[in-house]
Structure 1
């Protein structure tokens, strides 16, 4: 399934979407999106890094599996399964995966850069 097939789709089966290999032990699936909202699964191998970055999007990330050391601005904390982090607009954030993990990321608006 390509990204255009996901636009405004309302019933989505996980097995219909392929993983995108981002390298360095990270891969993602764009599960659904429209102009205002996007949900993405991001899988990390142990010791994989989500490089410190910022963006104009609001981001909520739910730790579905694993353990992550998350940096948010000047704060750093270990988050585990069931925990959440919120990245406000333009705040620098990143993480290191401490054990194999899965994040469920929600962005507002959608990440146009992910669709290229």
Structure 2
């Protein structure tokens, strides 16, 4: 499925979207987006790293599976299935996957850099 095909879709099946391999044990699926909002599923193998970074977008992430050590600014905490983290605009954050896991990331506005 082409990313443009996802714009403003309202009913989306997981099996219709292919994983994008980001390397180093991380892959993602852009599930849906419009100009204001984006939902992304990110799968991590054990010990894979979501490198410390920041961006102007608001981000909320739900731990759908597994366990992650999450760094948010100067804080670190282990989050497990069912937990959530919130990354305010421009705050440095990242994760280390402690066991195979999946994060559901929501961004406002959408991440144009993910669509390139």
Give, in whole Å, the separation in 2 of the partners of 1:29 and 1:106.
Answer: 12
Q: What is residue 86 of structure 1 aligned with on the other side? A: 86
- Contiguous gaps of at least 5 residues in structure 1: none
Paired residues, what number? 116
Structure 1 residue 92, shift from structure 2 partner: 0.1
1:100 corresponds to 2:96: no
Q: What is residue 66 of structure 2 aligned with on the other side? A: 66
2:90 counterpart SS class: coil
Q: TM-score if structure 1 supplies the norm length?
A: 1.00
2:114 counterpart SS class: helix
1:113 counterpart SS class: helix
Give, in whole Å, the separation in 2 of the partners of 1:95 and 1:36.
Answer: 25
Give, in whole Å, the separation in 1 of the partners of 2:37 and 2:94.
Answer: 21
Structure 1 residue 52, shift from structure 2 partner: 0.2
Runs of at least 4 residues off by over 3 Å: none
1:34 corresponds to 2:34: yes
CA-to-aligned-CA distance 1:64-111 (integer Å, 9 cap, x gap)? 000000000000000000000000000000010000000000000000
Give, in whole Å, the separation in 1 of the partners of 2:94 and 2:4.
Answer: 28
Q: What is residue 4 of structure 1 aligned with on the other side? A: 4
RMSD value over aligned CA atoms?
Answer: 0.2
